[in-house]
Amino acid sequence: MAASVRADTPGDLQALVWTDRAHAREVLLEQPATCLDPSAATSTVRAGEALFNSPALLGGQAERAGMSCASCHANGRRSQWFRLDGLSAAPGTADVSSSFFAVQRANGRFDPKPIPDLALPGKVSHEPASGELERFVRGLIVEEFSGAEPSVQTLAALAAYVRALRPCPDRVREPRGLAADLRLVEAAIAGAMGLLRQGDRSGAIKLVKGARFRLGLISERMTGREQAKLRRDLLAASRELSVLQEAPVADQLKAWQTRFERKLKPALGKAEPRSLYAPAVVNRWLKAKP
């Protein structure tokens, strides 16, 4: 089954590339609510979450298209409006044995499956002693998506995140505002520093790339001429990271983070009500689309 990368979206936002057109609004403004197990080791889980959201983890065609684990498993759960021509039947389904991602597991059949919610018990055991989850995730990255072999530390972080996922007791959905994206930038930089401390340079590079990808997602929401300077500043911040990405150094990542928090973060917060993070702006934007 030859899949095309045509995005069925009302606009040209990366955040909507995998979204059923009728549900753009929900996908821009909401996500499934996730409550992480409070007893899990926080820094590892955060690194895992950032890896889960970084297309660089998957490599190849998926990375070029900006796809990460979270494209299908939003907030670790289930992207109910996920849709990609050639990969999905109904929204929320995907054929993960398609030659779109890798020849290795391509089975020549179009057999999309419902995307599972990773916070609920499924086919794959989360029992740490069995190592089944680590093996499954490694298989996904290397065989399903043709990604580079992940390090032991990278796999451990991803598995820790998946194991920590829980439904929230009090809510099903939560807002997907600027705060959610900023949190992922921070998790990526903190995670990169953590992986460097553990000697996982390749994992750290994937996280620096993940932080840059997230900055791009923030930038595309800062629409209009009045936010042009903010977009330039985001681009400059991303360029600084691109230099570090070649040879990440913990101290320099820390210095970047401090600058980001001091300068860009407050400016972004101020702009949020006039950006595509704001429901009223999203409504207007969707109405103006053909």
Give residues in contact with ligand HEC (CB under 6 A): 57, 67, 69, 71-73, 94, 96, 113, 115-116, 118, 122-124, 136-137, 140-141, 158, 162
| Identity of the amino acid at 215 | L
In order, the DSSP letters of 49-84 are: HHHHT-GGGT-HHHHHTT--HHHHSGGGS--TTB--
**Minimal CB distance residue for ligand HEC:** 122
Task: Name the residue nearer to ligand HEC (CB basis): 12 or 111.
Answer: 111
Nearest approach in angstroms of CB 72 to ligand HEC is 3
Nearest approach in angstroms of CB 260 to ligand HEC is 26
Nearest approach in angstroms of CB 140 to ligand HEC is 5
| Identity of the amino acid at 95 | D
Task: Name the residue nearer to ligand HEC (CB basis): 144 or 233.
Answer: 144
Task: Name the residue nearer to ligand HEC (CB basis): 15 or 118.
Answer: 118
Task: Report the candidate in 205, 276, 178, 179 with the shortest Cα–Cα distance to residue 56.
Answer: 205
Task: Name the residue nearer to ligand HEC (CB basis): 117 or 181.
Answer: 117
Q: Extract the tokens encoding 33.
A: 């609510």
d(Cα 52, Cα 207) in Å, to the nearest integer?
10
Nearest approach in angstroms of CB 28 to ligand HEC is 19
Determine contact, residues 82/115, Cβ cutoff 8 Å: yes
Nearest approach in angstroms of CB 87 to ligand HEC is 6
Nearest approach in angstroms of CB 24 to ligand HEC is 19
d(Cα 29, Cα 8) in Å, to the nearest integer?
18
Task: Name the residue nearer to ligand HEC (CB basis): 119 or 234.
Answer: 119
Determine contact, residues 98/85, Cβ cutoff 8 Å: no
d(Cα 289, Cα 272) in Å, to the nearest integer?
21
Task: Name the residue nearer to ligand HEC (CB basis): 206 or 227.
Answer: 206
Nearest approach in angstroms of CB 97 to ligand HEC is 8
Task: Name the residue nearer to ligand HEC (CB basis): 91 or 177.
Answer: 91
DSSP strands (E only) in the chain:
30-32, 34-36, 93-94, 113-114, 165-167, 173-175
Question: 3-state class of 162 per DSSP?
Answer: helix
Distances in whole angstroms, Cα of residue 241 to Cα of each of 68, 234, 260: 20, 11, 11
Task: Report the candidate in 96, 92, 93 with the shortest Cα–Cα distance to residue 106.
Answer: 96
Task: Name the residue nearer to ligand HEC (CB basis): 137 or 185.
Answer: 137
